């Protein structure tokens, strides 16, 4: 376990150094991170999908994926594991307000990838854009100093899993209607 933590910490500093060398700047990364607070970007996008009859079912799927993800991430895994945030463990100041929950897994990342997977199934072009944005979201959480890389990787996997569960149920429901 110590080896994993050491590797995660080393990777954290390597990624932060790399991201800080990019021309985007602190305002860019903190803004991306802010869009994920409370799932705001995805909730707004889901509402947008609900407004139009053609995409309403996908809005419901997106909200269901967010719901499954929230339960798994925020109600089960984060409290159960309660990994210390890197800024507490490594004694540095994050670029956003300190958080009170655990670090593992990244909720911003998992919500983003849950929605990206849904959007990919709805429309490939929208899905590609969502995956690009979700990747930026994941990197922003490392940049602002509130997550380790493994937290973010777990968020990617958890988000994809959450969407997969909902998409599988959607497919089964549609298949059962045909019979």
The mean of the pLDDT values for the chain is 93
Q: What integer is the mean pLDDT of 136-142?
A: 96
Residue-wise DSSP of 113-172: HHHHHHHHHH-HHHHHHHHHHHHHHHHHHHHTTS--HHHHHHHHHHHHHHHHHHHHHHHH
Using CA atoms, how far residue 36 sits from 40, 53, 99, 118, 140, in Å, is 6, 26, 14, 17, 10
Q: What integer is the mean pLDDT of 112-135?
A: 96
Q: What are phi and psi of 44, to 5 degrees?
A: -65, -40
Name the residue range of residue 120's domain: 2-178
CA distance 128 to 168: 21
Query: Which has the higher per-residue pLDDT, 179 or 73?
Result: 73
Q: What integer is the mean pLDDT of 122-138?
A: 96
- The number of folded domains in the chain is 1
Q: What are phi and psi of 73, to 5 degrees?
A: -80, -60
Look at residue 36 and give its three-state secondary structure. coil
pLDDT of residue 22: 84
Q: What integer is the mean pLDDT of 130-152?
A: 96
Q: Report the CATH number that the domain containing residue 36 is assigned in CATH.
A: 1.20.144.10
Categorize the per-residue pLDDT at 115 as very low, low, confident or very high, splitting at 50, 70 and 90. very high
pLDDT of residue 169: 92
Instruction: Read off the pLDDT of residues 151-177 as tens digits, 9 standing for 90 and up.
Output: 999 999 999 999 999 999 988 876 666
pLDDT of residue 117: 98
């Amino acid at each position: 376990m110590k080896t994993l933590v050491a590797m995660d910490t080393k990777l954290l500093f390597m990624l932060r150094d790399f991201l800080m060398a990019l021309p985007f700047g602190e305002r860019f990364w903190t803004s991306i991170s802010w869009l994920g607070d409370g799932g705001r970007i995805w909730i707004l996008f889901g509402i947008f999908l609900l407004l139009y009859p053609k995409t309403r079912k996908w809005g419901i799927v997106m909200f269901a994926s967010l719901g499954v993800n929230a339960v798994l991430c925020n109600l089960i895994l984060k409290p159960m594991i309660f990994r210390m945030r890197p800024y507490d463990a490594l004694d540095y100041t994050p670029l956003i307000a300190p958080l009170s929950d655990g670090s593992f897994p990244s909720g911003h990342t998992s919500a983003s990838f849950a929605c990206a997977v849904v959007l990919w199934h709805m429309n490939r072009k929208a899905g590609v854009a969502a995956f690009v944005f979700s990747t930026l979201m994941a990197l922003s959480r490392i940049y602002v100093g509130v997550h380790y890389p493994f937290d973010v990787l777990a968020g990617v996997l958890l988000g994809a899993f959450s969407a997969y569960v909902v998409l599988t149920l959607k497919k089964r429901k549609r298949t059962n209607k045909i019979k």
